[in-house]
Amino acid sequence: MRKRVVSMWFPNLPSDRVVRAGALNGDDTGPFVVTHHAKNTDRIYCLNNAAAAQGLHRDMGFSDARAYCPDLQSCPADPIADARFLHMLARWGKRYCPWVGVDGSDGLLLNIAGSAHLFGGEDAMLNDMRHRLTHAGVQGRVAVADTRGAAWALTHFGQRAQGEDIAHLPVAALRLDTKTDATLQRLGLRNISDLIALPRATIARRFGPDVVLRLDQATGARDEDISPLKDAPNYGVRMTLPDPIGLSGDVMAGAERLLERLCAKLKDQDMGARKLQLHLRRVDQGAQIVELRLAAPMRDAARILPLFERGVDEVDAGYGIDQIRLTAIQVEPLPKAQITHGVATRTQGIDDLITRIGNRIGLDNIHRFLPADSHIPERSFQIAAAAYSRAEGAWAALRPRPLQLFAPEPIAGAGARPPQHFRWRRMALTVGHATGPERIAPEWWLADDNWRSGLRDYWKVDTVQGRRLWLYYTPQNPGWFVQGEFA
């Protein structure tokens, strides 16, 4: 079947995205630019029509642009969000045909062969596309041709009235790099027709095979594929029951069957579920939802099923449940791993335990400590959520450190040596031994309010009453504080 390729080009994709998201305050028709930081200066990355009308252009310095146009609004560029937006548009493009591919960072390609008649012909279809894009606030150019190269040339360089002929378009429309384009221009080869008129062997010898390839792809002498985007896999399974069920054992049996299907799906994709949702529809149209957050990505049905027990027990079945739906809301890549003896089962057991406890007290409330590279006592470790970190790193203490740390508590004292008697937490304490000082300087590269008082001289103090405290003295702002307690 003959290919018919629609090329869509969104010249102002980044700025259209920001305007559409409603991130601008007030008037969104005024001049607006998206800036990016390159070579130590902010430059314009993308601009809307109002800004172009004021004489701004791409790659202009942002400070110059603001001087031209004082009411200019701006926003930093976010290429990842732009790519996500383009993929959203690609999904929208599936309303026209199933073959939708992404073209670079700001275009789409659609193979509409065989589906144009559903929209009343090609012209009606293109008009529909233009209409919908305008309505959505996305500036786009749309053209159709027999080949991908020609469609691209028409969207980027063509005029709507001139039909599908690309011979009169400039050579840059062949998707050539700027250097080749400049060389061709210098030799007087301005249009594609000039290039076609030359013998092929001459072109190939003078400019390399790339120009001939691009020319052939545009004229259709050589085929070029559109690689359509894959549908995102849907990690959901469901089961509708002929009669409503109400016993928790029955619900668990249903969940077990669904889990097996879901885990097979996850296994195919090398994914593991991180967050699961069991949606139980009741006959009275009510719905009960059981959520399960897992401490590690998992796809082992036999391990996941018992973790659902607690949630299922709390479900109010009402007059019965007639549909069960199980969805993996959050998935993470989980490559196949070598099965080893011993170690794996132990960490799995702990992961399951973290899941069970985490579903009661919150998965973020289970921590582990990770070492950090700092001499500041309270920054010499990090607290990480156990579900999202691995236990690693080596711990080293050059000097004794207290077992417990607390926020510094001031005590009365003067001089650089620890006071012989002091009161702390309403206790009168007498110093027996004092070891120190250990001087720790603040990390000037981090702004920390607690270290505003400057250097600290730490002392380990053994009191006659028994308690062993960690005191410090701040020589720059004289004062004594208690920050920790040893065993």
Kindly list the residues in this chain that would bind other proteins in the complex (CB under 8 A).
346, 349-350, 352-354, 356-357, 360-361, 365-369, 371, 377-378, 380-381, 383, 386, 391-393, 395-397, 400-407, 432-433, 435, 460, 462-468, 484-487
Residue 301 tokens read as: 């049905």
The least CB distance from residue 133 to other proteins, in Å, is 50
| Distance of alpha carbon 254 from alpha carbon 238, whole angstroms | 9
**Phi, then psi, of 24 in degrees rounded to 5:** -80, 145
55: closest CA among 40, 39, 69, 72? 69
- Which tokens belong to 292? 């399960």
Minimum gap (Å) between residue 410 Cβ and other proteins: 15
Minimum CB–partner distance for residue 378 and other proteins (Å): 8
Q: How far is the CB of 372 from other proteins (least distance, A)?
A: 10
Question: How far apart are alpha carbons 125 and 61 in whole angstroms?
Answer: 40
Alpha-carbon torsion (282, 287, 288, 293), positive or negative: positive
Taking the C-alpha atoms of residue 466 and residue 266, their distance in angstroms, rounded to an integer, is 58
The 8-class DSSP code of residue 437 comes to E
Measured from the CB atom, the residue of 147 and 463 that comes closer to other proteins is 463
Question: Cα(258)–Cα(123) distance, rounded to whole angstroms?
Answer: 47
- Give the β-pairing of 41-47 and 480-485: unpaired
C-alpha 304, offset from chain centre: 27
Q: Nearest approach, Cβ of 236 to other proteins (angstroms)?
A: 29
- Please state the closest distance from residue 115 (CB atom) to other proteins, in A: 56
By beta-carbon proximity to other proteins, the closer residue of 109 and 429 is 429
Nearer to other proteins, 41 or 345 (CB): 345
Task: Please state, in angstroms and as integers, the Cα–Cα distance from residue 47 to each residue in 63, 132, 139, following that order.
Answer: 14, 21, 12
**Cβ at position 316, least distance to other proteins in Å:** 21
In whole angstroms, give the CA distance from residue 174 to residue 218. 7
- What lies within 8 Å, CB to CB, of 64 at 6+ separation is none
Distance between CA atoms of residues 388 and 391, nearest Å: 10
CB of 343 to other proteins, least distance (A): 9
Contact 155, 107 (CB under 8 A): yes
Contact between 245 and 315 under an 8 Å Cβ cutoff? The reply is no
**Residue 183 or 374: which CB sits closer to other proteins?**
374
Q: Which is nearer to other proteins, 160 or 399 (CB)?
A: 399
Q: 10 Å Cβ neighbour count for 107?
A: 22
Q: How far is the CB of 298 from other proteins (least distance, A)?
A: 16
Q: Give residue for tokens 């981090």.
A: 446
Q: Which helix (H) or strand (E) holds 242?
A: strand 236-245
User: Would you state the structure tokens that stand for residue 458, as one six-digit string?
Assistant: 């730490």
Closest CB 295 distance from other proteins, rounded Å: 11
Q: Are strands 427-440 and 456-463 parallel, antiparallel or unpaired?
A: antiparallel
How many CB atoms neighbour CB 242 within 10 A? 5
Of residues 20 and 310, the one with the C-beta less far from other proteins: 310
Rounded (10°) angle between helices 209-219 and 178-186? 90
Cα–chain center distance at 435: 50
Decide whether 141 or 460 has the Cβ nearer to other proteins: 460
Give one DSSP letter per residue of 184-229, joined into a string. HHHTT--BHHHHHHS-HHHHHHHH-HHHHHHHHHHHTSS-----PP
Least distance (Å) from other proteins to the CB of residue 483?
A: 10
DSSP SS3 for 277: strand
In angstroms, what is the minimal distance from the CB of 371 to other proteins? 8
